Structure formats: C-alpha cells, structure tokens
Structure 1
Amino acid sequence: MTVFPTWLLVVAALIIFSLAVVAGYYLRKLSVAQKKQAEQLAELEQAAEDQRERVNDSIQIIARTLLDDGVGLTEASIRIRVLLDALQVEDKVREEFVAFYTIAEKTGHIPILKDWKELPRKEQFKYELEMAQVEADYKDFAMDAAKRILGRSF
C-alpha cells in the first residue's frame, strides 16, 4: 500500500477549506442580495398599491362631483376613462362603465385646454352643441354608472 505524503494531504485540506470559505462568502453575498431585492420588491408593491388607492380615490371624487353637478359630463367621462385605463381594469369593468368610454370616444376629437382657447368662438359654440347632444344622449347611462362607481375599488 502506498502512503500519501502528509504535505499533500495538508495542501488538499487547505484547498478544500479555501473553496469552502469562498463558497460561503458568495452564499452570504447572494443571501444579502436576495434580501435587498425582496425589500425593494415590497417597497415597489406598496408604492403601486398606494398609487392604485390614489387613482381609486380620484375616480370616487369625480363620480361624486358629477352626481353633484360640479363637473361636466364630458370632462368627468374623459377623466374616469383615463383613470380606469391607468388601473388596467378588466374588460368586464370597461363594459360595465361603457357610458364613460362612449362619451369620451364621441368627444375625443374636441380640442382641450390651450387648443380650445385658441379656437374661434364660433367653433367653440359648434363643439359645445356637439358635447351637449352627446351628454343628452348618454346622461342617464352615465349618471347610473357614476352611482355604481361610488364605494367601489378597482
């Protein structure tokens, strides 16, 4: 039987120990990175939930204001549609509140803000008549939808 030299066993043990230390170092580093990543993910999820809550609150405020005649039906419809889309609601919800989507779609070509102010008064009047007609056609549906929105969270 051949006898292994002792120095060879010591060198092998040192190499194994060194590799174990390196592996332990990288395992610890990986563990710290995973913990940090989990914390960041939790922060992002909380921020997303907070944003979702703010958007839901905005929808509630607009619906309540619409029901109290504090905002026009066209403006409320456009805002609610944008907010629902920002929440990426399901098609079922879009169908339930189709009145807002329809009004927003039918008035989407009308200039807003600065572009509205730059229009001649005659064109503004034409668009106002068009909005009034769309609002008259869909008012009952939109008001019912606004009542159904109250108290809901998307």
Structure 2
Amino acid sequence: MSLTVFFVFLFVAAGIMAVSLWFIFRQLKLNKMRKQRIIDGEARYLEERQKRIDSIEVLLKVANTDEMGWIEASIRIKNLLDQLGVDLSDHEDISAFYIVTESTMHIPTHEQWNLLPKEAKKKFRNEMAKCEADNAEHLLRGSEKLKLLLLF
C-alpha cells in the first residue's frame, strides 16, 4: 500500500466522520426542537383546558340569574365538557346539564329564533320555562357537584 492510497483512505474516513458528526448534530438539534414543540403543545393544551374550566366556573356563577338562564348555561356547559373530553352524562347530578340540553335541542337559536313568529316564540319560551322548572333542583345539585369536581 502506497502512501497516496493511505492518505486517500484517511481523507475518505475523515470525510465520513465529518458527515456523520454533521448528521448527529443535526438530529440532536431536531430532537431538541421536537421536544420543545411537545412541551409548548402541552402547555398550550393545559392553558386551553384551564380556559374551558374557567369558562364553566363563570357559567355556573351566572346561571339562573338575569344574565343567563339555566338552559343557555346548560348548553354551554355541556359543550365545554365535551371539548374537555369529559362525559358526565351518567353522573347522577351533573347529568342535568345533558338532560336540559337534549330536551331543548329542537328549539331554534340566534337568527332562526329572530325569524320565528310571536306565537312560536311564546310556545318555545313556555317550553323552556317548564324545562327549567322541572329540572331546577337537579340543575342546582349538578352545579354544586360540578363546582366541586372543577376544584380538583
């Protein structure tokens, strides 16, 4: 083996080592970026989750007041619970929010409500009042239980 062949192999080996080192550092950098994205994503997830929990707490405070009735609060709470990935429809007390939401699902909202004739609005208002009255005690118990669950 001549000295030239030795230096060629040495140069090729050094090149392979350089490329390997570059690849290793690149992978480490990508892993670090991935890990940071995961951490940021988890932080965003926890932040969004906390926002939804805070929204439920606010809704529980204003439910059954002049600001908001039980029906609207129930619909919003049920949707927030769904967004949290929590199904409490089988819970003895908290199921009230699911029951009220289901029983009023057929009632038009927003623009559709504004397009209704007065007689239909009156009929639906009576139906909503009856639903609130029928479920008032259950909704109060559900509200208290949900407040306790949100503390943990």
Structure-2-length-normalised TM-score: 0.91
Q: Helix, strand or coil: the match of 1:150? A: helix
1:7 aligns with 2:4: yes
Deviation at 1:39, TM superposition (A): 1.2
Q: 2:76: which partner in 1? A: 79
Q: What's 1:143 paired with?
A: 140
Bigger relative contact order (CA 8 A; separation at least 6) = 1
Q: Decide which of 37, 40, 44 is 2:41's aligned counterpart.
A: 44
Runs (5+) with no aligned partner, structure 2:
none
Answer yes or no: is 1:62 the counterpart of 2:48. no
The Cα of 1:6 is off from its aligned counterpart by 2.0
CA, structure 1 residues 147+68, in 2 after alignment: closer, same or farther (shift >3 Å)? farther
Q: Which ranges of structure 1 fall in alignment gaps of 5 or more residues?
A: none
Determine the structure 2 residue equivalent to 1:34: 31
Residue number in structure 2 paired with 1:102:
99
TM-score scaled by length of structure 1: 0.89
Which amino acid is 1:65 matched to?
A: V
Give the aligned residue type for 2:41. Answer: L
Distance in 1 separating the partners of 2:13 and 2:55: 62
Which of 49-58 and 66-75 deviates more? 66-75
> Given the alignment of the two structures, is residue 111 of structure 1 paired with residue 108 of structure 2, yes or no?
yes
